[in-house]
Structure 1
Amino acid sequence: MARFNPISTQIARHYQAGGPDANGQPPERQTCDSPGNPCRHCLQMIPIGAQMLVLAHRPFPALQPYAETGPIFLCADPCPAGGGAHVPDILASADYIVRGYGQDDRIVYGTGAVIATPQIAARADQLLRDPKVAYVHVRSARNNCFQCRIDRD
């Protein structure tokens, strides 16, 4: 069984305290003005009118050719960590890229595909049965933005 995981609380608090993002810049503070801004820590949609952060995030431990960096949203105020066995609320689009990564944090070729949202958990379980796959990313099918990580439970 798979577990959906947010960015770590330590990283979220770093950004929420104004710490530099993956590009070395402070997060941009904005007011959420649409219902589709997913917080990558609580794994909930940021409420309209709430303060949010927009920043560059690299969900990998070190720089290397496969360590993609991209924009994410985050609640501006500390929020509880989301996650669990069920597809999180932030996955509200029709489909997402689901892709496996090895212990070396590099893409396991042949694992990436656009998957209908109701099938994400089953696809992640299938990928995680492969011993070459250490974890899975869920990314936007339109913009490739990191959404969350899926690990073996």
Structure 2
Amino acid sequence: MLIRYIALPTDRVRALCDGALDDYGMPPERRTSNGVGVPCRHCLRNVEAGRDYLILAYRPFPALQPYAETGPIFLHAEPCERALETDVLPDLFRATASYILRGYGYDDRIVYGTGAVTPTHEICNRAHELLRRKDIAYLHMRSAKNNCYQCRIERA
């Protein structure tokens, strides 16, 4: 079974860059990157020093419900190419020691017992293991320190 790492959809990102409100109904905040720790969830690359980025509330779920976490993410303020959907862990994530992987069911609820801080070098194997389960529709990869949404992982 192959997996794929999935960045935010381009149509949603373009709308946010063009002034659409975030998932809290607020306009995204615009800042200038110092080049450190500003991962764009669309191209899955760090926002380079001197380039503007957006901070906004994002809910990676189709509807409000008790498990629909909303949190801060960063995006390049200017258009960037969406990261390819691939089974290779994007380079952006390789410099961090670990992430939370968590499984969600077809009803977009957490599948209890699936969430765990996972060392980066084990993410691919753990994703394969979780996605073999029939009760798991997809995974979220989140920051192990702040629980911020990084990307979605699905079966290819």
Instruction: Please name the residue that 2:92 is paired with.
Output: 90
Q: Using the alignment, how far apart are the partners of 1:102 and 1:146 within structure 2?
A: 17
Q: CA offsets, 1:13-69, max 9 Å, x none?
A: 111111000100010010001421100000111111111000000000000000000
Indicate if the aligned counterparts of 1:39 and 1:90 stay in contact, CA closer than 8 A: no
Instruction: Please name the residue that 1:53 is paired with.
Output: 54
Indicate if the aligned counterparts of 2:35 and 2:46 stay in contact, CA closer than 8 A: no
* Paired residue secondary structure (1:148): strand
Matched, 1:111 2:114: yes
Indicate if the aligned counterparts of 1:137 and 1:146 stay in contact, CA closer than 8 A: yes
Indicate if the aligned counterparts of 1:3 and 1:84 stay in contact, CA closer than 8 A: yes
Q: Using the alignment, how far apart are the partners of 1:41 and 1:122 within structure 2?
A: 24
* Paired residue secondary structure (1:15): helix
1:147 to 146, 150, 156: 150
Tell me the TM-score normalised to structure 2 length.
0.96
Gaps of 5+ in 1: none
Tell me the TM-score normalised to structure 1 length.
0.97
Q: Using the alignment, how far apart are the partners of 1:16 and 1:85 within structure 2?
A: 28
Offset of residue 104 of structure 1: 0.5
Q: Using the alignment, how far apart are the partners of 2:91 and 2:38 within structure 1?
A: 11
Give 2:143's aligned amino acid: S
Gaps of 5+ in 2: none
Give 1:72's aligned amino acid: I
* Paired residue secondary structure (2:125): helix
2:135 to 132, 136, 139: 132
CA RMSD of superposed structures (Å): 0.8
* Paired residue secondary structure (2:140): strand
Aligned-pair identity in percent equals 55
